[in-house]
Chain A
Amino acid sequence: GNSVTQMEGPVTLSEEAFLTINCTYTATGYPSLFWYVQYPGEGLQLLLKATKADDKGSNKGFEATYRKETTSFHLEKGSVQVSDSAVYFCALVGTGRRALTFGSGTRLQVQP
């Protein structure tokens, strides 16, 4: 079946540091890949997505590239801010499926 593996957190960084949150997946066919973010006290919201190999999703300074050869979709940001502190979830939806499969989430804490 489909599965998503994320690096465990929490990840603690200083403001303006470079961020990488690793995500790898297992799926048949050609899944679509997503990053969702959950800010404190808020519901999950879509951060970015990529629907085919080599696509790059980007939003709010975050980027992730769909790498089929390594089955990865790592999240990166060049300079994090305190306001980026949140829990980040990697997810996929497989071919012919409707429901997303989520990773366990990675908590990011950015210190001023």
Chain B
Amino acid sequence: GAGVSQSPSNKVTEKGKDVELRCDPISGHTALYWYRQSLGQGLEFLIYFQGNSAPDKSGLPSDRFSAERTGGSVSTLTIQRTQQEDSAVYLCASSLTQGGRGEKLFFGSGTQLSVL
């Protein structure tokens, strides 16, 4: 497709289980971002990938969260031992170059994660 694709669109899991969320960025986009949107909150930055550079992990809330980007394209966000406070919409975005000032981000529709 032409846009950023995320899967699954909805995920319900039990507390303590691990989950993997997938993001397919727009082909050719070198920058990829993960954000989290909790109910009534703004978008919280999680992690940023740019080409082959080391990712900016400064937004990850705990060591239960990790992400990788294989071959400069698809990215997977993994949450281990999920907690109820992890329930949120997880958004992925990509941009053509290195993002930042003036750069347009293209967002996916998100994965709604519910931890019971």
Contact = CB atoms under 8 A, between A and B. Distances in A.
Contacts of B27: none
B100 interface: yes
Nearest to B47: A99
Summarize B's interface: helix, strand, loop or mixed: loop
Contacts, number: 61
A87 B14 CA distance: 30
Interface string B63-97: 00000000000000000000000000001010000
Range, interface on chain A: 20 to 34
A44 to B, nearest CB: 4
Interface centre among A51, A89, A93, A100 (most CB of B within 10 A): A100
A79 B19 CA distance: 45
Interface stretch (A60-68, A70-78, A101-109): A101-109
B109 to A, nearest CB: 5
12 contacts: A32-B100, A32-B101, A42-B109, A43-B108, A45-B106, A46-B105, A51-B102, A91-B43, A93-B99, A98-B50, A99-B48, A102-B42
Q: Closest 10 A-B residue pairs measured CB to CB? A: A102-B43, A43-B107, A44-B107, A104-B42, A102-B42, A99-B45, A32-B101, A98-B100, A98-B99, A43-B109
